[in-house]
Structure formats: structure tokens, C-alpha cells
Amino acid sequence: MKAMLIDTTKCIGCRACQVACKSWNNLPGESTRFSETWSNPRYLDADNYTRIIFREVTTPEGDLRWHFISRRCMHCLTPACASACPVGALKKLPDGPVVYNDEICIGCRYCMMACPFQIPKFEWSKAIPLIRKCTFCADRQAMKQEPACSASCPTGSLLFGERDQLLKEAHRRIGMHAGRYYPQVYGEKTGGGTSKLYITGASFETLGLEHRGFRTDLGDVPQGMYGREWMAKVPWVAVAVGGLCTGLYYLNKRRDEVQTRQGKED
């Protein structure tokens, strides 16, 4: 299965990935604005599938250090969105990408509620809106090309490859450069594992992103499993309740009949 290793310590914040993503997906450009976050655009939305979050964090030694964290769909191994979608418009492909089908989506937005990384976005400005999110360039992958973002990355911060090999590489880097990395691969087990693997210079709590798309309280169980477990019980509940109700209905009927007969005999 394909995956991407995102080594944020190698990112210089040039945003070539954002530009490449926009060109490949034919997304409209928009005028940018200054804000206290430095990041542009400020949020992911239906026209922005990826963006770099700029973070300036004080190290324990008191120095200021920049972190550039690329944010996009995590392409979960067991995606909550795919478990949530009532019509199966979102699917995890065997090769890795989580893709969306424009033709069958009903626009209920349950995927947006369910996604633990808050990735699916809605075309709010359109009269006939659809969900939009990073596709892991499934169309490019089908042509044996790597995703537009990693192809454009000048520093190798975005590394495309096989998931198991990238995991090995991530742990190799963490082991080689003690102190350079926070010793955890975000996405290895997070939310049941994802196809985007992050190694960062500091924990996501230190970066202040644990409530901004990089939750650290998800555990190793994919969120969608809670719904799947519920659905596994549903048929049994239906049979049990149905059987009980039918039985009691006929019992009551029979009791009434007996009672009326006794009433007549009296």
C-alpha cells in the first residue's frame, strides 16, 4: 500500500506543494491575506486540499524555532468517513487513497462530522455542493506517477512510497538523529493507522496542533469502528425485539380470547 512520509524537519515552508496541488486539481487561486498565523490559506476548504501550517515554538533552551507542518487528508487505513457515509461515496482504495464519488454523494455531511482530522470540506459557495478533499492524487497514481505535492517538493520533506518501507525509514531517521525528532511516528497507529506518516521536531501538543487537525487523543482504534460495531449488533436487536413483540402480541391476544370465553361461560 502506498503512503507518504512527511518529515516536517525538512520542510522550508515554500508552499510548492500547495501550488502543485492547485494546478493538478484545477482549483481556483485566491487572494491571500496577512494574519498572525503566517499560514496561507488560513484554513483548508473546498478549494484548498493542502496547506502548510507555520508554527514558531520556543525550545526548552529558550530559542525560537520554526516548524512547517503540511496538512491534508490522512488517508486512514480504516477511514471514519467511509464508515460514516450512508451511500458509500467515500472508499479506501487498496493502493492507499481514500477517494470520493461525486455521482452518488447526497450531501449529508456526516463524513465531515465523523472525520477525526476534520478533512472533508463542503462547497458552501455552490448551489449544488459536493464534498472536496485531498485525493492522494489517485488519478496520478493510476498513471504510475507520484502525487503532485511530493513531486514538487524541493527538499524531500514529502516522500512517496510503500507504507511499510516508509515506516522503517521513519524509525531509522528517529533512531539516527536523537534529539532532532519527537520519537513517535504520527499516523503509524493513530486512529488505526493512516497512509500519511508524520515525523516532527516536536510533539503535536508542543506545536499546539492537537486540537487543530492533529489530535493526539484518538488512540489506536479507528473512530469508524464504533459505528461498525454498532451496525454489527443491529440485526440481532431487530430479531430479538421483533420476536419478543410478536410473541407477546399473540400471548395477549390469546389471553383476551380466554378471558372473553370465560366471561361468556360465567
Report the interface residues with another protein, using CB under 8 A.
43-45, 80, 82-89, 104-110, 112-114, 116, 118, 121-130, 211-212, 215, 217-218, 223-224, 226-228, 230-231, 234, 237-238, 241-242, 244-246, 248-250, 252, 255
Helix, strand, or coil (residue 229): helix
What's CA 113's distance to the chain center, in Å? 11
Measured CA to CA, the distance from residue 28 to residue 52 in angstroms comes to 18
Minimum distance, C-beta of residue 45 to another protein, in the bound complex (Å): 6
Question: Closer CB to another protein, residue 54 or residue 110?
Answer: 110
Minimum distance, C-beta of residue 51 to another protein, in the bound complex (Å): 13
Question: Closer CB to another protein, residue 109 or residue 171?
Answer: 109
Measured CA to CA, the distance from residue 227 to residue 91 in angstroms comes to 16
Going through the chain in order, the beta strands assigned E by DSSP cover 2-7, 51-58, 64-71, 90-92, 98-100, 121-122, 131-132, 158-162, 196-199
Question: Closer CB to another protein, residue 28 or residue 62?
Answer: 28
Taking alpha carbons only, the member of 4, 40, 246 closest to residue 134 is 4
Asked if 50 and 70 touch (Cβ cutoff 8 Å), the reply is: yes
Going through 43-97 in order, the beta strands assigned E by DSSP cover 51-58, 64-71, 90-92
Question: Closer CB to another protein, residue 19 or residue 130?
Answer: 130
Minimum distance, C-beta of residue 36 to another protein, in the bound complex (Å): 12
Fill in the DSSP letter of residue 27.
P
Question: Closer CB to another protein, residue 183 or residue 219?
Answer: 219
Minimum distance, C-beta of residue 212 to another protein, in the bound complex (Å): 7
Question: Closer CB to another protein, residue 144 or residue 236?
Answer: 236
Minimum distance, C-beta of residue 148 to another protein, in the bound complex (Å): 23
Q: Which three cell numbers stand for residue 162?
A: 510503500
Minimum distance, C-beta of residue 90 to another protein, in the bound complex (Å): 9
The bridge status of strand 196-199 relative to strand 2-7 is parallel
Q: How many helices (H) and strands (E) does the chain have?
A: 7, 9
